[in-house]
Amino acid sequence: MGIHGALQPSFDDLGTPLSDTVFCVLDLETTGGGAECSITEVGAVKVQGGRVLGEFQTLVRPPSRIPAMIQLLTGITDQMVATAPSLDGVLPALDEFMAGTVLVAHNARFDVGFLKRGYESVGIRWRSPHVVDTVALARQLLLRDEVRNCKLATLAAHFHASTEPNHRALSDARATVDVLHGLLERAGSLGVHTLEDLCDVMLRVSPERRAKRVWASEVPEAPGVYWFVHDGKDADHRPRSEVLYVGKSVNLRRRVASYFTAAEQRSRIEEMVRVATRVEHEVCATDLEAEVRELRMIASHSPRYNRRSRRQQAVAWLKLTREAFPRVAVARAVSDDGCDYWGPFSSARAARAAAEVVGEAFGLRGCTVRLSPHRPITACAAGQMGRCVAPCELGDGVPAYAALVESTRRAWLGDIRPALQSAQPKLMRLVQDERFEEAGELTARLRSLHDASARHHRVLSVARCPEILAAAPGRRGWDLHCIRYGRLAGAATAPTAAVRQSADQLRRDAETVLPPPAATPAGSVEEAERIASWLETPGLRVLDVDGEWSWPIGACLGEAELVAALTGSASGGAPAVADLPPEVGAGNHRPGRRRARSSIPAV
């Protein structure tokens, strides 16, 4: 029981006053309680501010006989409904009577359920009105020692209703009106004065949480970021403020207001709102600026109620070490040490799996011994088994190993296809041997390798450009952004006629960004990814580029190309994708990102 229909009321700063709300109090009599039963009588009373605006009552001829027990309970007989209109003649008039009102019923789930089925049967669209259930409201507002139960007869007697309920639709609706007014009077003493507050009461939103709704009245209806703050004292009793949660929205007032209503049901966030002492905000020119500022605030404050505050930064990278015989190693961060880096990966575990795939694909050594280019040593077991060219022996394996390193470097620089294709024989053997689980694991690792390549070059493409100035269609004209080394340096909006003038002013006002080390973005990797996504917005116009914004065509494959590279389905002998088990093919995996163009010219 509770609210049915539209559960999300509007979040205007003041809400809808209960005195201005038009309620339609409804009651139905039926042939029973099952889904196959029918309506036999409809009664409704329209009220506003304590005044009755109108009443609606009619019997309804059901398609089947009324059970004897129901006739005895309601007093409605087959003879009484024999000349009554059928449901398709009643519901259009009832729908017009209820239009624009808040529907009220006692045990609303029952009445709304019958109405929805009736609307569907006669082909009328259900308006999905707000629904107030007087049973749910009574359970929240009345104490257990006040009423023994929440039946309509009990509540009508408690509130001294002028009409006694008697299982007839209009009488019960009139009694429910008096019960509603009694409950609204009780709710008003608790500070409930709007329809939104009333809905929150039924969904058990605490008074303390509702009281903080006034915070939203100071927030504008504009895009930006908001953050909840707790003001307290540290161990030395000095004032201390803690940022609890950071968020963004295209409409700050509506988003902030939602935290104090039943729309927000996450337990952690409810706890956060209870702890918070105030909410702050900052208006942003564009949605992208709001996203970026949210990321930066989460990174700088690490709010305890933001789940992603621990995972925003890249966790791990692969690097090709600088030594006599390079190997692939996992690094926690990119250093300016002259090594080739590739990534990032979401975790060290994912990076180690990718390193294993790269090592197998190109035959790089897996040992961690620092080898000398002048002093040979005996090859390890991998070299003796032919799984490594054994450059440590300083024989023919030295030039062969150098070629393998160069192939790895080329794959990292842009063409991931050789690494994917090298696993085809092993993948096909696993499939032929019906070792589908292992084949699925290998396919997942190869796809992860491909996704890492796409992510690496997507981020690198914006990170290596000293400046990109672009405009995209927005809600308020054109969104303009100045991007420097993968960091958002400035944002603005402009009408079509002033795009170029505003872009020139934005360039002058934008933040100065110094070149980052090792071709990584000047901001976070996630910020660079958000920027890259925005640069792919349909209708975007590149106004100016300092540098080359491009990425290799072999760094990211379409889904069909990716499957072909993994299975060799385009080369004749390998099985078609449709012939592979679903755990090996594309069915259980996310489609690959679309391939970018080799270069994107300025407009």
Which are the catalytic amino acids? 167
Residue among 22, 39, 184, 174 at smallest CA distance from 112: 39
Contact 468, 549 (CB under 8 A): yes
Distance spanning both ends of the chain, measured CA to CA: 58
Say how far apart CA 430 and CA 435 lie, in whole Å: 5
Say how far apart CA 168 and CA 55 lie, in whole Å: 14
Say how far apart CA 443 and CA 450 lie, in whole Å: 11
Q: Which single residue is written with the structure tokens 């709704």?
A: 213
DSSP state of 579: G
Residue 329 bridge partners (DSSP): 319
CA atoms within 13 A on the CB side of 190: 20
Q: Could you tell me how far CA 371 lies from the centroid of its own chain? A: 50
CA atoms within 13 A on the CB side of 524: 19
Residue among 247, 198, 209, 207 at smallest CA distance from 227: 247
Residue 58 bridge partners (DSSP): 42
CA atoms within 13 A on the CB side of 174: 15
Cis before 552? omega within 30: no
Residue 494 bridge partners (DSSP): 478
In sequence order, the 6+-apart residues with CB closer than 8 A to the CB of 64 are: 31, 38
Contact 463, 526 (CB under 8 A): no
Contact 422, 361 (CB under 8 A): yes
Q: Which amino acid is at 6?
A: A
Q: For residue 561, give both structure tokens.
A: 């190309």
Contact 447, 471 (CB under 8 A): no
Residue 227 bridge partners (DSSP): 246, 280
Q: Which amino acid is at 248?
A: K
Q: Which residues of 196-215 are buried (b: 16+ CB within 10 A; e: fewer)?
A: bbbbbbbeebeeebbebbeb
SS (H, E, C) 262-314: CCCCCHHHHHHHHHCCEEEEEECCCHHHHHHHHHHHHHHHCCCCCHHHHCCCC
Q: For residue 529, give both structure tokens.
A: 């990814």
486: left (phi over 0), alpha (psi -120 to 50) or beta: left
**Helices marked H in 368-470:** 381-384, 397-413, 417-421, 424-432, 436-463
CA torsion sign for 216, 218, 219, 220 is positive
Say how far apart CA 43 and CA 482 lie, in whole Å: 63
Q: For residue 469, give both structure tokens.
A: 């100035």
